[in-house]
Structure 1
Amino acid sequence: MKKFILFFVLAAAGFTVKAQEGYNYYEWGVGGGIGYGRAYADTKRQDYHPLYNLNIAYNFNPYVPVALEYQFGTLSGGGLTPDKDAYGRMYKNAYKALLLHADAQFGSFIDYSNNGFLNVIKNFYVGTGIGAISNNMKFIQRGNPPAFSDPSNSYYHGPLGTKEGFQGKDKSINLVLPLRFGYEFKIYDSYDQVGYTITLGYEHNYTFGEGLDGYDDPPAKFKNNAPDQYAHFTIGFRYNFGNTVSYNKLIRDFGF
């Protein structure tokens, strides 16, 4: 009789574990990524550079990671000839940023059970957040280059800077509003939980200020239609770990 009861208990436990396969997810994730992007600032030309990030994420559920991200890279633009900037401005910003953002994937809102198409699109996401960027000009052209100093020169285009040079700060901090969208590829481990993710995404960042290019000249004299911005395409990798949490929908759907 005791053996029968023990067999029943073990069988029931095994059934419960089996029933949970595909429903569980890890609570935390850590990862990084590399992107390629540019600024949208005041100079005519903007250069493309690789950008990098490290992040730690709290998985609110399998489809809503909330991440604290440290981002760094280079933004540059302008040049000493009018084809690169009408006033001869030029800058190189070695920036660092700290962002807190959340991404909501379609899987949070749709019933994708036993549907191959919905199981594919469930991993698309949109997101936003808030953060701050620290701007550090490694190079900036404050005065007019020689080609611009003489109005009779064929390179001369538009007004010159003031006697003190072009206005702005070499170092500054601005608030950042990121807008994000992309797709997350989920890689399952032996427990049918999302052990790893690979993300392809695009991020456009609006800054509240004029610090990205180091120039803050009077808009009445220098065309300036919008706050400084920067954007990049990125590929990211994340390793998930920590407590196992149950979700109310099957994450890994074997029905298609």
Structure 2
Amino acid sequence: MKKITLIICLLVICVAAKAQYNYAEFGVGGGYGTTKPYADLKVSDTNKEMYFNLFYNYSPYLPFAFEMQLGRLSGGDNATDPSHRYFINNYLAFNIHGDLQLGEITDYEGDFFMERMKGLYMGFGIGAIFNSISDIRRYAANDPTYLFPGKDHSINALIPVRFGYEFKIYNSNDEPFACIDFTYTHNFTFAEGLDGYADPSSKFKNNSQDMFRAITVGIKINFGNTATYIKSIR
């Protein structure tokens, strides 16, 4: 009887050990993409952005990141804009965000479709954007005495809302050592600093606060302490 009990215990231990899957707790990454502002000017240009981030992987499907962004926003046109207004903003931004992937909240094991959809994610964050207007029309073209209100340098709160897909790359132990991310981010600023103009709505149509979107592709390399997960990651 003791032998049977011992065998059963060993089997339970083996099954439990087999059911644990490893992943690295930390990561570092970066990426590149395009930006487009939604501000007070009718014409919005498409520009570039790059970012760098540090990750803490709470699980393989729930990473938290500290991110730094460098990019450009611009819009308007001296010739075609009704008020001949234009701007160029070379910004620096920081945020902390988390991305909840579908794999964290679904039972995908053995499901062909869900195993391929488990990398889909939605995320939120909070941060700040440091606006630096390098070129702008400050005085009205038809009235050189009128100065458009606004600042060349400002700091605005930033709320990124993120949607994307993470493609994991595995090592020989089936651990995700690298990831490629395709992300759409809509950044809400709740302020008027992106385009450098802060006109009252009585003078210029201004239905909402400034915001901008970013479409990016990035890579992440995982490292550090190894943690275990209850579901198969691969």
TM-score by length of 1: 0.83
1:183 corresponding residue in structure 2 = 165
2:18 corresponding residue in structure 1 = 19
Letter of the aligned partner of 1:66 in structure 2?
F
2:34 corresponding residue in structure 1 = 36
Identity over aligned pairs, percent? 46
For residues 64-105 of structure 1, the C-alpha deviation after alignment (integer angstroms, 9 at most, x for no partner) is: 000000001110111112x3x221111100000001000000
Separation in 2, partners of 1:99, 1:125? 18
Please list every run of 5 or more consecutive structure 2 residues that lacks an aligned counterpart in the other structure: 1-9
1:62 corresponding residue in structure 2 = 60
Letter of the aligned partner of 2:137 in structure 1?
Q
Letter of the aligned partner of 2:77 in structure 1?
G
Which runs of structure 2 are paired with 1:103-252 in the superposition (5 Å)? 103-145=99-141, 149=142, 163-252=145-234
Letter of the aligned partner of 1:243 in structure 2?
N
Please list every run of 5 or more consecutive structure 1 residues that lacks an aligned counterpart in the other structure: 1-10, 150-159
Q: CA deviation at 1:18?
A: 7.5
More strand by share: 2
Determine whether 1:77 maps to 2:75: yes
Cα separation, partners in 2 of 1:17 and 1:239, compared to 1, 3 Å = farther
TM-score by length of 2: 0.91
Runs (4+) off by over 4 Å: 15-18
Separation in 2, partners of 1:225, 1:108? 38
Letter of the aligned partner of 2:221 in structure 1?
Y
- Given candidates 87, 96, 102, the residue that maps to 1:100 is 96
Partner SS for 1:108: helix
- Given candidates 47, 51, 54, the residue that maps to 2:45 is 47
Separation in 1, partners of 2:52, 2:30? 4
For residues 226-249 of structure 1, the C-alpha deviation after alignment (integer angstroms, 9 at most, x for no partner) is: 100000111010000001000111
Letter of the aligned partner of 2:138 in structure 1?
R
Q: CA deviation at 1:20?
A: 5.7
The question of whether the paired residues in 1 share the 8 Å contact of 2:140 and 2:146 is answered with no
Separation in 1, partners of 2:85, 2:208? 18
Partner SS for 2:116: helix
Letter of the aligned partner of 2:71 in structure 1?
G
For residues 104-138 of structure 1, the C-alpha deviation after alignment (integer angstroms, 9 at most, x for no partner) is: 00111110111111101111000001000000011
Q: Which of 1 and 2 has greater Rg?
A: 1
Letter of the aligned partner of 2:132 in structure 1?
N
